[in-house]
Amino acid sequence: MMKENVKVPAPHAAENDPLGPADMVVGVLGGTGDQGRGLARRLGLAGREVLIGSRSADRARSIARDLPIATGMDNTECAARADLVVVAVPWDSHAPILSKVADELIGKIIVDCAVPMGFDRHGAHTLDVPEGSACLQAQRICPESRVVGAFHHVSAALLLDPSVPRVETDVMVVGDDRAATDAVIELADTIPGMRGIYAGRLRNSRQVEALTANLISINRRYRAHAGVRVTDVPRTPVR
């Protein structure tokens, strides 16, 4: 792994954040794809103000019209206007899009749910990343942002299904900034059925991302929308 090029921001105290997690405007880069659109939908239903980002502002506006409390725009404007930005872009677009909006993301929380993954006749498989993981790549590209990994294992089909009132899954949250991981845990907790769980520092993000390929294999074999549940952790863990 090429960790020497990854600059880790200094820890922040939660009480020093100018905005509490409940006040943050959430931007979704790649918000017109299934995962981004699904997360935007659930966050909007939970009362969050959501900005939908896309390479095409027209497409983003079209998608946003069908979502609660959402506004569509291009990725750069989305990154500039949001307080917290979810990166839900395809893997081959991950580095190019983050590089383009890095200046707009300075000082902000980046929630990266991208997965370095490919498919062949045997199914899903993980891809090697020079930095070690998508999250570590994001931290290299955006060294002055607060990168958190989360929402990798959430089924887009369930997020988008209006007949599913609760998305019953835990969300593994990894990051080096305590206030940022706490904010993302709180964000996950606002979606009915979800629970955010701290799962370690960014150096552990590779394992969390890679588990997505296993879940896809499970879902294909059993025709399911499997998620992850962590046992023996209280609903409101001691922080």
pLDDT digits (tens, 9 = 90+) for 84-128: 999 999 999 999 999 999 999 999 999 999 999 999 999 999 999
Contact 174/208 with Cβ under 8 angstroms?
yes
Task: Evaluate whether residue 234 is within a structural domain.
Answer: no
Range of the domain at 57: 22-222
E strand spans, the chain: 26-29, 50-54, 70-74, 84-87, 109-112, 117-120, 123-126, 146-149, 169-175, 194-198
Task: Evaluate whether residue 152 is within a structural domain.
Answer: yes
- Mean residue pLDDT across the chain: 91
In tens, the pLDDT along 222-239 reads: 999 999 999 999 876 545
Look at residue 143 and tell me whether its pLDDT is greater than 90: yes
pTM above 0.85, yes or no: yes
In tens, the pLDDT along 39-87 reads: 999 999 999 999 999 999 999 999 999 888 899 999 999 999 999 999 9
Q: What is the CATH number of the domain that holds 73?
A: 3.40.50.720
Overall domain count for the chain: 1
